[in-house]
Structure 1
Amino acid sequence: MSIDTTEIILVNEADEETGSGGKLWVHQQALLHRAFSVLIFNDNNELLIHQRVFDKYHSGGLWTNTCCGHPNAGEEIKTAAKRRLGEEMGFTCDLDFLYKFHYKVTFDNQLTENEIDHVFTGLYNEPFEVNPAEVLAYKWVSIPEIMEEVKQKPENYTFWFRKILESDVLQDFVAVLS
Structure 2
Amino acid sequence: MSKLIMFNKPFDVLSQFTDKGTENGPRRTLSDFIDVKGVYPAGRLDRDSEGLMLLTDDGRLQAKISNPKHKMPKTYWAQVEGIPDAEAIRKLQQGVTLKDGITLPARAQIIDEPVHLWPRTPPIRVRKSIPDTWIALTLREGRNRQVRRMTAAVGHPTLRLIRAQIGAWRLDDLPVGQWSEIKE
- Shorter-chain TM-score bucket reads under 0.3
Higher relative contact order at CA 8 Å, sep ≥6: structure 1 or structure 2? 2
Larger radius of gyration: 2
Higher strand share: 1
Provide TM-score, normalisation by structure 2: 0.27
The two structures have a TM-score, normalised by structure 1, of: 0.28
From the two aligned structures, give the one with the greater helix fraction: 1
